Structure 1
Amino acid sequence: MRDSFVGPFTIIKLIWKNAVEVRMTEEFSKKHPVFPTTTPPDIVELEDSPGPVKKIINARKIRLNGKDQRQYLVRLRNQTADKYKWLAENARPDGNLHPRRFRASKRTEQSHQ
């Protein structure tokens, strides 16, 4: 492997303390699947759930598959302020996505202007 950081690969098993066997993709199928390592790589959790919502920043309507869909720009808990994500109205990972409260706060802001 010329590139020192390619992947991610799934670790099949730990061989001793300084080597791992990985499941190779088709592109690297001719390579030997055991690699030396000084420290195990960080574990990357692959999940679809975006995590708990801290605050709704903005809202928009988009047309998806011929239907209008409302999305909310949210800030996730335990993330930096620049990590915003658009979530569909029905995608409530933890139940803290409160679109009614958000829309009500926008109405009161507009009435005070």
Structure 2
Amino acid sequence: MQPFLGFASYYRNLIRNFAHITSSLYKLCSKDVVFEITKERRDAYERRKHELTNAPVLILPDFELPFKSYIDAACSQGLGAALHQRQIVDVEPREGVICYISRQLKDSEARNGATQTKCLFLVQAPEKLYHYLEGAVFEVYTDCTALKSLLNMQTTNRHMLRWQIAISEYRGNMTIIYKEGKTHGKADGLSRWPQKTATG
């Protein structure tokens, strides 16, 4: 299992929901877990195999154009972001996906409230995407209204203060835009287990 996960992880930025879906497979590598192939684990394994052998529909970044980052954090489940860009394709302007990022929440992070968890990934997403976003103009879409005022928020919470400092380097280049949860599917699917989707 470890060789397969190592191979699949190399392509994680091309696969939606990677961290959350493979979490059951990573548990099999633990010394304290009985190696048992359940339906959930078999489905996760087959899904990863399918996605590794089917070309994802991604676009190359154009560093002359602004980027869009859709972020979401589902408490106790995971963190996810999708980097998009609007480009001219066959004369028509279209928005396409450049890459996906996602990861599981640590136990300590899962105990945080929704706002703190989403603030965490508002900071971490640009860090993980720095090779795209460094010096670039970009918009961050979130379904958490509190994030819009993170840079100017008056707080004594040490985590929030640290995140304010970390995100301040993007001041002037980054615009935070609120997007209602039910219309925020681009990133929600990355942090929550997909219910009926057939692709990653």
User: Into which bin does the TM-score normalised by the smaller protein fall?
Assistant: under 0.3
Q: What is the TM-score of this pair, normalised by structure 1? A: 0.26
RCO greater where, 1 or 2, for CA within 8 Å and sep 6 or more?
A: 2
Relative to its length, the structure with more helix (as a share) is: 2
State the TM-score, normalizing by the size of structure 2.
0.18
Q: Pick the structure with more strand per residue.
A: 1
